[in-house]
Structure 1
Amino acid sequence: MKVVLIRHGESEANFANYWTGWLDVPLTEKGRQQAWQAGLDIKERGIQFDYAFASFLQRTLTTCNTVLEASDQLWVPVTKTWRLNERHYGRLVGVNKDEMITQFGEDQVLRWRRGYTEPPLYVEVNDFDRRYDHLDQQLVPKGENLEMVVARIVPFWVDEVVPLIKAGKNVLITGHGNSLRALVKYIEDVPEDAMDTIKIPNAQPIIYEFDGTMNLIDRE
């Protein structure tokens, strides 16, 4: 059974170099082309999905649908989950990264980006739309470090993905840099102090192969 992880294509925030987090921004035209090419690559490899997952944010939803369309699998059911959302960057959301380096220094910004337990500057109140109204508001963070992202991604994997793999299904998971980094950490048992070595490029499929008892057979 195969599980394919894909980070969304280039977003407008990636292009403009600011922290996005749970801010809902679209793909650039380049990002759409990247997603289409990823779908063509999957089609060429003959990977056929039974289920797909994406975050609540349009950059992953557009990427997921584009990948499925390009691989002639647009009919595959897609489940949306907040647990695949990007890391919540708190008060850093919408701020240019270079400006923050000037204000706080490169070392501090690096700790915010890659420190496993380093929290961002928390927001006092989240200003979200109704897509999150159904959630227990105690679950909705006001900012997250990487440890917190791992804590919310593991239940998604254990409760929703593992049963599908054990049932012999192939799964597409479209997420974000940090949510997929957290998932890779868990799947591959990467140590906390090595998490910053996990690279998740835009729209480049990461293909895992498992047997029916969840033994990892291959990764490419």
Structure 2
Amino acid sequence: MSRILVLVRHGQSEWNLLNLFTGWKDPDLTAQGVKEATAAGARLKALGYKYDIAYTSVLTRAQHTLRLILDQVGQPGLETIKDQALNERDYGELTGLNKDDARAKWGEEQVHIWRRSFDVPPPGGESLKNTAERTLPYFNAQILPRVLKGENVLVAAHGNSLRSIIMDLEKLTGEEIVARELNTGEPIVYELNEDGSIKSKKVLAA
């Protein structure tokens, strides 16, 4: 029985390119992001899996990435569920700021703490712990059961919502997961055992 879960961070967005804190704002992909998502789809197609369902956030960059991947794997009409539980971390008052400008305003050390601590949120925003508190209940109630009953599931989302899922799947600590880098447009393919443990993992790097 196949129990495949694919997690992929969206391709480069317009605000990634500008080095801005994006959060729940809704820029689209850049031309580079389109290339990344299309290439991710081609690498997934080479594995030969067919997917039963896809999940994404309510944000354009993740949805666009998913559409490009589904076109490449030959399943453009696949049932897709969109939910804000899979949205990126909300950066609060940092949203829309250039990361260098944020460092100038609050200091290098403080901005580093907000970006790389597990449980310290920026003003008005979410920590990674807060993000996990909305992402994981949704994942465990809606997505994981589909995989465990033998379906192949594709999730296109964001760096921090996916970190939350990876932390749970790989049994990582908060300190371990904040150090984990997820590249844009780089699929991670898990095969799960019937108890939800990981049978195999592949990172489809460019």
- Give the TM-score band, short-chain normalised: over 0.9
Matched with 1:186 is 168
| Aligned-pair CA distance for 1:211 | 2.3
1:150 and 1:186 in contact (8 A); partners too: no
Where do 1:168-183 residues align within 5 Å?
A: 168-183=150-165
Where do 1:117-128 residues align within 5 Å?
A: 117-122=119-124
2:64 and 2:89 map into 1 onto residues whose CA distance is 19
2:118 and 2:148 map into 1 onto residues whose CA distance is 31
Amino acid in the other structure paired with 1:210: L
Where do 1:145-164 residues align within 5 Å?
A: 145-164=127-146
Matched with 2:81 is 79
Matched with 2:41 is 39
2:113 and 2:120 in contact (8 A); partners too: yes
Equivalent of 2:18 in 16, 19, 44: 16
1:119 and 1:203 map into 2 onto residues whose CA distance is 26
1:33 and 1:146 map into 2 onto residues whose CA distance is 28
Equivalent of 1:53 in 52, 55, 66: 55
Structure 2: give runs of 5+ residues left out of the alignment: none
1:147 and 1:211 map into 2 onto residues whose CA distance is 26
State yes or no: 1:217 paired with 2:199: yes
Matched with 2:68 is 66
2:176 and 2:192 map into 1 onto residues whose CA distance is 23
Deviations for 1:26-59, whole angstroms, at most 9, x for unmatched residues?
0001101110010011111112111000000000
1:45 and 1:195 map into 2 onto residues whose CA distance is 27
1:81 and 1:54 map into 2 onto residues whose CA distance is 7
| Aligned-pair CA distance for 1:189 | 1.0
1:166 and 1:70 map into 2 onto residues whose CA distance is 25
User: Which region of structure 1 is more displaced relative to structure 2, 152-161 or 210-219?
Assistant: 210-219
1:215 and 1:81 map into 2 onto residues whose CA distance is 25
1:157 and 1:26 map into 2 onto residues whose CA distance is 24
Matched with 1:2 is 4
| Aligned-pair CA distance for 1:105 | 1.5
RMSD, matched Cα: 0.9
2:175 and 2:190 map into 1 onto residues whose CA distance is 23
Amino acid in the other structure paired with 2:136: V
Identity fraction in percent: 35
2:33 and 2:61 map into 1 onto residues whose CA distance is 9
